[in-house]
């Protein structure tokens, strides 16, 4: 659907050293006019004339490429239709980005990952896998079933393994089957039978739930250049939530220095293998790290996302606003002036109260409370997902500061102001007589 002109103006005004009107003259926005909940790529492929129009907007196909969030056969076909290359993983390599494919690659490259089993299609497969896993790890207290193509934790289900019969006992399998039927799905909108059907269709894995006194969920972003070079882009600490703490909500950047270098080295090993397989473009690798009694951290590779992820957008926002770079050696992001920058971001600032605000109200709040991104100080807040506020009661924000504490302070301040203003707008509504 069309993007409101005020939203376009908001982002163009953030461009450093660029006159917004000049940028606007070089921007073409093409709306399909179809708000149905289907992939945009699918809608475009249904409209050859619209694709021809987009192709005609490309000034020089030899110096252009298609950038997408995901790279499925649909996006590949759009690139072929428009006549420009797609900068992303070829869909034929999709298997490496599935949960089963990840586990196989981790094992082949000697990267530590949770105990588990892959290529499962039935609940009986899950039971048999857990029987084998409990023989290896009798103290295992919980496991996670994951659909091969689950995103942001939505395809996960938790299985409680506490107080079960001992491994190998005659009644172990029936007890495990009962626990699996009672597994807690991360997504409240998915019925258990629908989940089981999806497992049969696309397969999945089961793996031990990593536990410890202190757990964190960092990720590493990389990209493979057309030359085949693997470039480490960033590390993040992911902010997770949901029923079992498996759903992605946001991130802090950069990741804690205590383990950033370790996970970066392991990510580079994985990235080098993916480059050999022919992967191109951006991708991310998720980890779980556990603090050990001696204060050190042990890392476990969890999954590969052969696409852009939730941490991509905040990092690019920071990079484009400051023209800075991430130093993999120090784990720091530095501006061109050598100044350190940090961010806290979310895609899930959600509340029913926010539905009462219009996009124009958001900009008014930004102006009145000074929530702008200040180019002089290269710090402040940038909002995103603005179009979803009235329908979903949800927006995103990226808070940039000079230290972790400064970025966190700006984040909490923006969150508090937006929710307080939304509550006030609701209270000031017209009375019904």
Alpha-helical segments (H) within 13-64: 20-25, 40-45, 48-57
The CATH class for the domain spanning 215-427 reads alpha beta
> What DSSP element (H or E) covers 219?
strand 218-224
Nearest of 126, 270, 142, 91 to residue 118 by alpha carbon:
126
Q: Which two tokens stand for residue 96?
A: 């490496």
SS3 120: strand
> What share of residues in the chain are helix, strand, coil (percent, to 5)?
40, 25, 35
Cβ burial of 229 (10 Å; 0-12, 13-18, 19+) is exposed
Alpha-helical segments (H) within 110-163: 123-136
What's the pLDDT score for residue 328?
A: 85
Phi/psi of residue 196, each to 5°? -65, -40
Give residue-wise pLDDT tens across range 203-214: 999 999 998 889
Predicted confidence band of residue 433 (pLDDT cuts 50, 70, 90): low
Give residue-wise pLDDT tens across range 381-407: 999 999 999 999 999 999 999 999 999
Domain ranges of the chain: 115-208, 215-427
What's the pLDDT score for residue 350?
A: 94
What's the pLDDT score for residue 152?
A: 63
CA pair distance 353, 356, nearest whole angstrom: 6
Answer for the pair 52, 30: CB distance below 8 angstroms, yes or no: no
- Asked if pLDDT for residue 243 goes beyond 80, the answer is no
Q: How far is CA 47 from CA 42, 79, 86, in A?
A: 9, 14, 19
Give residue-wise pLDDT tens across range 123-147: 999 999 999 999 999 999 999 999 9
Return left, alpha or beta for 424; rule: phi > 0 is left, psi -120 to 50 is alpha, else beta: alpha
What's the pLDDT score for residue 430?
A: 63
pTM: 0.91
């Amino acid at each position: 659907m069309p993007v409101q002109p005020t939203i376009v103006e908001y982002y163009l005004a953030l461009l450093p050293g660029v006159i917004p009107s000049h940028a606007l003259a070089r921007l073409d926005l093409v709306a399909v006019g179809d708000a149905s909940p289907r992939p945009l790529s699918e809608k475009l492929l249904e409209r050859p004339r619209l694709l021809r129009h987009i192709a005609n907007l490309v000034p020089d196909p030899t110096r252009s490429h298609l950038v997408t969030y995901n790279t499925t056969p649909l996006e590949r076909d759009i690139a072929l239709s428009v006549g420009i290359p797609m900068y992303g993983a070829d869909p034929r390599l999709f298997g490496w980005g599935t949960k089963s494919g990840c586990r196989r690659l981790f094992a082949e490259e000697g990267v530590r990952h949770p105990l588990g089993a892959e290529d499962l299609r039935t609940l009986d497969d899950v039971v048999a896998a857990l029987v084998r896993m409990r023989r290896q790890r009798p103290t295992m207290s919980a496991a996670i079933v994951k659909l091969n193509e689950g995103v942001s934790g939505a395809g996960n289900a938790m299985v409680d393994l506490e107080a079960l019969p001992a491994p190998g006992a005659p009644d172990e399998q029936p007890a495990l089957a009962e626990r699996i039927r009672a597994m807690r799905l991360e997504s409240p909108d998915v019925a258990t039978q629908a989940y089981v059907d999806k497992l049969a269709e696309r397969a999945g894995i089961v793996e031990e739930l990593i536990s410890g006194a202190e757990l964190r969920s960092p990720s590493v972003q990389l990209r493979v250049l057309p030359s085949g070079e693997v470039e480490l882009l960033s590390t993040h600490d992911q902010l997770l939530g949901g029923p079992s703490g498996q759903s992605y909500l946001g991130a802090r950047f950069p990741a804690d220095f205590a383990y950033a270098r370790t996970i970066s080295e392991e990510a580079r090993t994985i990235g080098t293998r993916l480059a050999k397989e022919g992967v191109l473009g951006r991708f991310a690798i998720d980890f779980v790290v556990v603090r050990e009694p001696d204060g050190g951290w042990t890392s476990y590779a969890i999954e590969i996302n052969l696409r852009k992820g939730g941490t991509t957008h905040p990092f690019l926002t920071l990079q484009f606003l400051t023209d800075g770079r991430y130093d993999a050696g120090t784990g720091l992001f530095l501006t061109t002036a050598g100044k350190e920058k940090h961010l806290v971001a979310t895609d899930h600032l959600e509340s029913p109260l926010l539905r009462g605000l219009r996009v124009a109200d958001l900009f008014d709040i930004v102006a009145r409370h000074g929530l702008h991104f200040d180019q002089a100080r290269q710090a402040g807040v940038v909002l995103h997902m603005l179009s979803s506020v009235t329908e979903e009661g949800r927006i995103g924000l990226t808070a940039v500061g000079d230290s972790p504490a400064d970025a966190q302070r700006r984040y909490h301040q923006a969150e508090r102001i937006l929710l307080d203003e939304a509550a006030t707008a609701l209270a000031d509504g017209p009375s019904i007589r």
